[in-house]
Amino acid sequence: MNIWLNIAAFQVGWFACVVGAAHDMPWAGTAVALAVVAIHLYLAPQVRVQARLIAFAAVFGFLADTVLIRGGWLEFSSGILVPDTAPHWIVALWMIFATTLNVSLIWLKNRWLLAVVFGAAGGPLAYYAGSELGAVTLIDPVSAMFAVGVAWAFAMPLLLLVADRLNGTLTPKQIPEAVDYV
C-alpha cells in the first residue's frame, strides 16, 4: 500500500470514529474504520498475517482503554457495548492504527526509544483532540494525559514489535530481505 494512501485512510478513519462518537453516531465511524481495514487487507500481499496484526491491536487496544476507563481517567458516552469497557469505535481506531505500523510508521521500527517517545507524546495528543471534539471525557485532564502517555509509551514499541513479526505487507519475495534487515 502507498504510504500517502495509508496516512490519508488512517486520518479519514480517525475523524469518522471521533466525530461519529461525539455526535452519537459511533457505528458510522466504526463502519468507515472497518472499510479502511478491508481496503488495507485487500491490498496486503499476506492477508492472514496482516489480519492477525490488526486483531492483536484490537484486543490490546480494548484492554488498554478498558484499564484507562476503570482507572477513572477516561469516560466514553457512545458506542459502549459492555459497561465500563472500551467502546467499539475506539477498538476500530486501534485496528486502523495497526494498518499504519508496517506502512507509514515503518520508519519507527527498531527505534525503540523514539517509539516510546512517539507513543508517550502522540497518544495523549490524540486523546486530547478526541476530548476537544467531544468523543471522550478526560476525568482529571492532567492525570488522564499522564496515564494515556504511560499506556502509549508501552503500546507503541509493543505494537511495532508485533508488527515486525506479523508483517503482511511484504510479498513472499521480500520476506528473506526483511529477515536480513532485522
The domain ranges of the chain are 3-181
| 20-48 pLDDT, tens digit each | 999 999 999 999 999 999 999 999 999 99
74-76 and 136-138 beta bridge pairing = antiparallel
- The predicted model gives 65-84 an average pLDDT of 96
Grid coordinates representing 69 are 476507563
Q: Mean pLDDT score of the chain, rounded to an integer?
A: 93
Give the model's pLDDT for residue 168.
83
Give the model's pLDDT for residue 109.
92
Q: Is there a contact between 155 and 64 (Cβ–Cβ < 8 Å)?
A: yes
DSSP-assigned states of every residue in 52-100: HHHHHHHHHHHHHHHHHHHTTSEEE-SS-SSTTS--HHHHHHHHHHHHH
Specify the length of the chain in residues: 182
| 112-158 pLDDT, tens digit each | 999 999 999 999 999 999 999 999 999 999 999 999 999 999 999 99
